[in-house]
Amino acid sequence: MIEYIKESNRSAQQNNRERHIYGTIPVYLKDHLLTDVDLNAVLADVQRLIPRKFVSNIDIIYVGDFKDFHKDNRDFNAMYEHGALYISNDQDDKNDMIDDIVHEIAHAVEEQYYKYIYSDNSVEREFLGKRKRLYHICKQEDLEPSYNQFLETEYDLNFDNYLHKQVGYPTLNSLVIGLFYSPYAVTSLREYFANGFENYFLKEPNYLKKISPSLYKRIDDLVMNIEPGGNNEI
């Protein structure tokens, strides 16, 4: 990975593929965008929508096609790892790419402020309460759920496969209305937070407040109380 990063940096400089966001965070276009998306406009909107204080854990952003996007027979569009955001170059449109970047920024925020977000267990309790309700809904629909899987907060591939293949996301989308903001928020506590963060800034914060009040409060507290350059103690 280190050698890849070094080579990407050299290649970006040579081919004028380097941009910056928030003035200091480099954005390297490893592979050309496959659709007609204006990357400069995307970055400008992200910078306008997300306060700078939430990107202090991000060192670099890569845009391209990465092998980790295609593991476990699933396709992903983005990931956050060790201070770097990896964003797919295959995007439906501008908003799709903004969603991906903001979602991964949320994972960086969670990493930095983990202790505060989960310190009183209110977000975890809310998440598991929703999982339990979804379990009973799936049982009523004869979808053969495993109760123990619904009690886990960490990502589990078997549970994700159950949701993706056995329940199916079109069906799951209808089952989670009024319970989770989206089907992907069901998959783990981390995704529950990231999905909420994304929707707080990009979509319907009032609806998030209505269905996930504990999660909304934590995100709102982060927005209101963190000073630029602040640490992870609030």
pLDDT in tens, 117-153: 999 999 999 999 999 999 999 999 999 999 999 999 9
State the residue range of the domain holding 22: 2-112
How many CB atoms sit inside 10 A of residue 157's CB?
12
How far is Cα 162 from Cα 145, in angstroms, rounded to an integer?
8
> Do residues 18 and 48 lie in contact, with contact meaning Cβ atoms separated by under 8 Å?
no
Distances (CA, A) of 68 to 75, 81, 104: 9, 11, 15
pLDDT at position 234, please? 47
Are residues 70 and 128 part of one domain? no
Which candidate, 120, 116, 146, places its Cα nearest to that of 134?
146
pLDDT tens string 158-182: 999 999 999 998 999 999 999 999 9
Residue 81 and residue 39 share a domain: yes
For 78, the enclosing helix (H) or strand (E) is strand 78-81
The residue from 112, 127, 160 where one domain ends is 112
The pLDDT, as a whole number, for residue 228 is 61
Residues 134 and 108 in one domain: no
Low-confidence stretches of the chain (pLDDT < 50) are: 12, 14, 232-234
The answer to whether residue 233 is domain-embedded is no
Asked whether residue 133 falls in the same domain as residue 69, the answer is no
pTM: 0.88
In a domain, 184, yes or no: yes
For residues 65 and 131, membership in a common domain is answered with no
Q: Can you give the pLDDT at residue 2? A: 57
The stretches of 141-188 forming alpha helices (DSSP H) are 157-161, 169-175
**pLDDT recorded at residue 187:** 95
> Is 122 in the same domain as 218?
yes
> Does 154 lie in the same domain as 82?
no
| Closest listed residue to residue 136, CA positions, set 166, 179, 168, 193 | 179
Q: Is residue 127 part of a domain?
A: yes
Instruction: Give, as one character, the DSSP assignment of residue 50.
Output: S
- Residues 25, 60, single domain; the answer is yes
Instruction: Evaluate whether residue 93 is within a structural domain.
Output: yes
Under 8 Å between Cβ of 68 and 87: no
Pairing of strands 25-29, 18-21: antiparallel
CB 232 within 8 A of CB 57: no
Tell whether 7 is covered by a domain: yes
**In terms of domains, do 82 and 17 share one?**
yes
Choosing from 112, 137, 157, the residue where a domain stops is 112
Backbone angles phi, psi at 79, to 5 degrees: -160, 155
Based on the fold, state whether residues 178 and 220 are members of the same structural domain: yes
pLDDT at residue number 76: 82
Our count of domains for the chain comes to 2
| SS3 (DSSP) at 79 | strand
Which of 152, 58, 154, 38 lies closest to 98, judged by CA?
38
Which residue, 86, 112, 138, sits at the end of a domain?
112
| Same-domain pairing of 21 and 67 | yes
8 inside domain: yes
